[in-house]
Amino acid sequence: MAVDYTTRDGVAVITLNNPPVNGLGLSTRAGIVEGIERALSDASVTAIVLTGAGKAFSGGADITEFNTPKATQEPTLATAIKVVEGSTKPVVAAIHSVAMGGGLELALGTHYRLAAPGAQIALPEVKLGILPGAGGTQRLPRAIGLEAALNMIVSGAPVMSEKLAGTGLFDEVVEGDLLEAAIAFARKVGAQAGPHPRVRDRKIEHPNAEGFIQFARNGVAGVAKNFPAPHKCIDAVEAGVKNGFDKGLAFERECFVSLVQTPESRALRHAFFGERAASKIPDVPSDTPVRDIHQVAVIGAGTMGGGIAMNFVNAGLPVTLLETKQDALDRGVATIRKNYEGTVKKGKLTPEALEQRMALITPTLSYEDLGNADLIIEAVFEELGVKEQVFKRLDEVAKQGAILASNTSTLDLNRIAAFTKRPQDVVGMHFFSPANVMKLLEVVRGRDTSKDVLATVMKIAKKIRKTAVVSGVCDGFIGNRMIEQYIRQALFMLEEGALPAQVDRAIEKFGFAMGPFRMSDLAGNDIGWAIRKRRYLEHPEMHYSKIADRLCETGRFGQKTGGGWYDYKAGDRTAHPSKLVEEMIVAFSKDVGAGRRKISDEEIVERLVFALVNEGAKILEEGIASKASDIDMVYLTGYGFPLWRGGPMLYADTVGLYNVERAIRRYASRPNGDAWQIAPGIVELAAKGRGFNG
Ligand code: 3H9
């Protein structure tokens, strides 16, 4: 049963009991209606308490039901709320913790509301690309005022219940036993004559509602970008202000129905579930025991090592930071301090907190000091010989059971693990630069990595607020292996007729934060050059455009050398198209006998994005990633793929794999077509009319 019903001293207690978060799916909604009717027909009951079991009052509508028949099957949430609101016996909501989305809307339909302090109150629908669709845009402004309500609805951010004490939302914020207090409250109001107050009957008071709504609209215009939902939130609130409750409610419903079908909402829901799904590893049960992590060590105090250390310090974990030379160690610690000072200047950290964080860092030059670390992360130079020295030394000093992690982005983790006598304790933790900022963490599972090590790393990733995605061992893991194919296409297109600014513009218009050439100039073109040199040796059969090598031969490594694919003025990161580079590109095309042609923006986007999709499909087939949403999470959190498109694999599903296959076959038949070996998975799924996500 999704809802429990009991009575106490003349009060009916209806308890939502639909773990994990009392989502308001069909059976829960039906249970609420049934409970109210039962209470109404029981003459001994004078009032009703509505509450939630477990960790939430309610996390809102059951998102998994969206766009299925259950979502619209009666009783809908609107019906359930109508029944609650229309009850002749007063209904008292008792909110002990989370009341979000439809959960808050349900509470707004009751006659009285009591909350425990610390309960999270939100209308977070906008984060899923929709708007509150069960009266939230109409009732919340009537409960807490127009400004506060609009802020909550447009941002989706949770507010603590105690901050809302004294508003029309809560009759009381109760310390101590909430249920007891709610029952006592219900008995009291149950003895009073009705009708009992309804939020819908209140007025929205504001001295200049129109002006404030316009102000909110201007604010949203700057940040909503490609998302329609924030605008609709404002429209719906405005409709209620101007035309009254019923018309506002009807308009809200209309907006909800249209938004829930948009690709943007689909993408955001995909990301919501994708993030949670990423933390689940198919053959590692959720009750796998984890190792205790109290002390962390990081080897290497460069940009990467320092950023990694900051993550743990921010989470309150002490970190021993090891370098080989005193000056490098001092520099590393000073950089960390400087980073924190920047945060203090922005007002986001107090000077005391800065000192507390710095005090958690123990710099050292000695491996002996790593003996008590539970987790040791190596962030040294990306060269197997260097890793060998580090891991052999770690094997000598690390305590039994310590997790030994490598931050390698390209090297074979199995070979690294083999440098130790404990390959089961070795795992990859691939952070992305800047490591203290970027959300993504690729967790690389070696051949021998034990399940409890994986479970521990996934848990600690959550603690340091990373989105962790498990990758098997292959060159480049999930993210970099795919990006290589994307870059490869970008370079071929230069050879065939495009210029860097055109390629960047096209893909940035598609929604990427930064095109491949601006990105490469930022990261340093020499990095890609070094990787390609290795590739030429390891995979002489693989066909690459040598156009980037020619650029590198002239020393144009990017922003750091004042020029790369673009020109840069000193102290300015603005990319200016370069005449010199343009001439070099045109000359290169001539030298390799490639005729230059006009390449459309559509072709640019298809070739770049489908290169990701094709490699992603191979990564899935090989089991490097266990599900398509994992690949999308890598691209959404680590590579600037536009969130409203949901990641490359969901985007491919939206385009349709049949169309993706046709495009790939078309490009495969053209010059440089040998780079397109279509993934069998795409062909198979397209033939079945399916997508990567079902
Ligand atoms: C809405 O209400 C629309 C209405 O306005 C109109 C309707 C007509 N549905 O996050 P966690 C699952 S839209 C289905 O790890 P926490 C989640 O997938 C809804 N499932 O826990 C996970 O499953 P699993 C508006 C849901 O303690 C498990 O619960 N509401 C829902 O860190 C645990 O989740 C929201 O947007 C749901 N609504 O945080 C709230 N919510 O274990 C979204 C959660 O299989 N939810 N699940 O991986 C949250 O923000 C957090 O989950 C919450 C708990 C704060 C509630």
Q: How many angstroms separate the alpha carbon of residue 434 from the centre of ligand 1?
A: 30
Which backbone phi and psi does 295 adopt, to 5 degrees?
A: -135, 130
515 near 491, Cβ under 8 Å? Answer: no
**Residues 574-632: pLDDT tens digits?**
999 999 999 999 999 999 998 899 999 999 999 999 999 999 999 999 999 999 999 99
Find tokens 């001439």 and name the residue.
Answer: 583
Q: How many CB atoms lie within 10 A of CB 194?
A: 12
Give the per-residue pLDDT at 422.
98
Q: How many CB atoms lie within 10 A of CB 352?
A: 9
User: Using a 6 Å cutoff on CB, does residue 275 contact ligand 1?
Assistant: no
Give the per-residue pLDDT at 571.
86
279 near 630, Cβ under 8 Å? Answer: no
**Does residue 224 register a pLDDT over 90?**
no
Q: How many CB atoms lie within 10 A of CB 467?
A: 21
| Full 3-state SS string of 394-433 | HHHHCCCCCEEEECCCCCCHHHHHCCCCCHHHEEEEEECC
Annotate 578-595 with b (16+ C-beta within 10 A) or e (fewer). beebeebbeebbeeeebe
User: Using a 6 Å cutoff on CB, does residue 100 contact ligand 1?
Assistant: yes
What element of type H or E holds 667? helix 657-668
User: Using a 6 Å cutoff on CB, does residue 133 contact ligand 1?
Assistant: yes
Q: How many angstroms separate the alpha carbon of residue 66 from the centre of ligand 1?
A: 13
173 near 161, Cβ under 8 Å? Answer: yes
Q: How many angstroms separate the alpha carbon of residue 115 from the centre of ligand 1?
A: 20
Largest CA distance in the chain: 93
Q: How many angstroms separate the alpha carbon of residue 128 from the centre of ligand 1?
A: 11
Please state the domain extents for the chain.
Answer: 3-259, 296-471, 479-688
Q: Whose CA is nearest to atom 52 of ligand 1?
A: 59
User: Using a 6 Å cutoff on CB, does residue 85 contact ligand 1?
Assistant: no
HSE-CB of 379 using CA atoms within 13 angstroms: 24
> Which residue type occupies 17?
N
CA–CA dist 238, 603 (Å, integer): 42
**Residues 329-370: pLDDT tens digits?**
999 999 999 999 999 999 999 999 999 999 999 999 999 999
The secondary structure of residue 205, as a DSSP letter, is: -
Closest-CA residue to 97 (of 122, 64, 128, 78): 122
190 near 46, Cβ under 8 Å? Answer: yes
**Residues 271-323: pLDDT tens digits?**
999 999 999 999 999 999 999 999 999 999 999 999 999 999 999 999 999 99
Partners of 558 in the β-ladder = 563
CA–CA dist 141, 545 (Å, integer): 59
CA–CA dist 136, 77 (Å, integer): 12
Percent pLDDT > 70 in the chain is 100
CATH number for 296-471: choose from 3.40.50.2020, 3.40.1110.10, 3.30.470.20, 3.40.50.720: 3.40.50.720
The secondary structure of residue 129, as a DSSP letter, is: T
Q: How many CB atoms lie within 10 A of CB 611?
A: 25
Q: Pull the structure tokens for residue 20.
A: 């994990």
Q: Whose CA is nearest to atom 24 of ligand 1?
A: 276
Residues designated catalytic: 105, 125
Q: What sections of 554-600 are H helices per DSSP?
A: 579-591
What average pLDDT does this structure show over 377-385? 94
User: Using a 6 Å cutoff on CB, does residue 59 contact ligand 1?
Assistant: yes
Q: How many angstroms separate the alpha carbon of residue 157 from the centre of ligand 1?
A: 14
Q: Whose CA is nearest to atom 51 of ligand 1?
A: 59
Just give the CATH number of 479-688: 1.10.1040.50
Which backbone phi and psi does 433 adopt, to 5 degrees?
A: -85, 140
Q: How far is CA 228 from CA 47, 220, 253, 255, in A?
A: 42, 10, 15, 10
Give the per-residue pLDDT at 538.
86
Confidence bin at 152 (pLDDT 50/70/90): very high
What average pLDDT does this structure show over 454-473? 98
CA–CA dist 174, 129 (Å, integer): 34
Q: Which atom of ligand 1 is nearest to the CA of 277?
A: 48
**Does residue 1 register a pLDDT over 80?**
no
Q: Whose CA is nearest to atom 53 of ligand 1?
A: 59
**Residues 69-119: pLDDT tens digits?**
999 999 999 999 999 999 999 999 999 999 999 999 999 999 999 999 999
Q: Whose CA is nearest to atom 9 of ligand 1?
A: 62
Domains 3-259 and 479-688 share a fold: no
Percent pLDDT > 90 in the chain is 93
Q: What's the chain's average pLDDT?
A: 96
| Full 3-state SS string of 272-335 | HHHHHHHCCECCECCCCCCCCCCCEEEECCCHHHHHHHHHHHHCCCCEEEECCCHHHHHHHHHH
Closest-CA residue to 425 (of 443, 455, 403, 405): 403
What element of type H or E holds 554? none
Give the distance, in angstroms, between the CA of residue 223 and the centroid of all CA atoms in the same chain. Answer: 17
Just give the CATH number of 3-259: 3.90.226.10
447 near 623, Cβ under 8 Å? Answer: no
Confidence bin at 531 (pLDDT 50/70/90): confident
What element of type H or E holds 355? helix 351-359
179 near 13, Cβ under 8 Å? Answer: yes
Contacts of 119 (CB under 8 A, 6+ apart): 57, 95, 96, 97, 98, 99, 160, 161
Give the per-residue pLDDT at 223.
81
Q: Pull the structure tokens for residue 156.
A: 């989706």
Give the per-residue pLDDT at 222.
81
Closest-CA residue to 65 (of 128, 23, 107, 21): 23
**Residues 411-461: pLDDT tens digits?**
999 999 999 999 999 999 999 989 999 999 999 999 999 999 999 999 999
What element of type H or E holds 7? strand 3-8
User: Using a 6 Å cutoff on CB, does residue 278 contact ligand 1?
Assistant: no
Helices and strands (H, E) in the chain, number of each type: 28, 20
What element of type H or E holds 443? strand 440-444
Give the per-residue pLDDT at 527.
86
- Strands annotated E in 530-672: 566-567, 576-577
CA–CA dist 524, 117 (Å, integer): 51
**Does residue 194 register a pLDDT over 90?**
no
> Which residue type occupies 496?
E
CA–CA dist 604, 157 (Å, integer): 37
Q: How many angstroms separate the alpha carbon of residue 441 from the centre of ligand 1?
A: 23
Confidence bin at 410 (pLDDT 50/70/90): confident
Confidence bin at 208 (pLDDT 50/70/90): very high
- For the chain, report the end-to-end CA distance as a whole number of angstroms: 29
User: Using a 6 Å cutoff on CB, does residue 77 contact ligand 1?
Assistant: yes
pTM of the complete model: 0.94
Q: How far is CA 485 from CA 490, 517, 542, 675, in A?
A: 9, 14, 11, 8
What average pLDDT does this structure show over 548-567? 95
User: Using a 6 Å cutoff on CB, does residue 372 contact ligand 1?
Assistant: no
Give burial (CB, 10 Å; 0-12/13-18/19+) of 540: exposed
| Pairing label, strands 319-322, 296-299 | parallel
User: Using a 6 Å cutoff on CB, does residue 125 contact ligand 1?
Assistant: yes
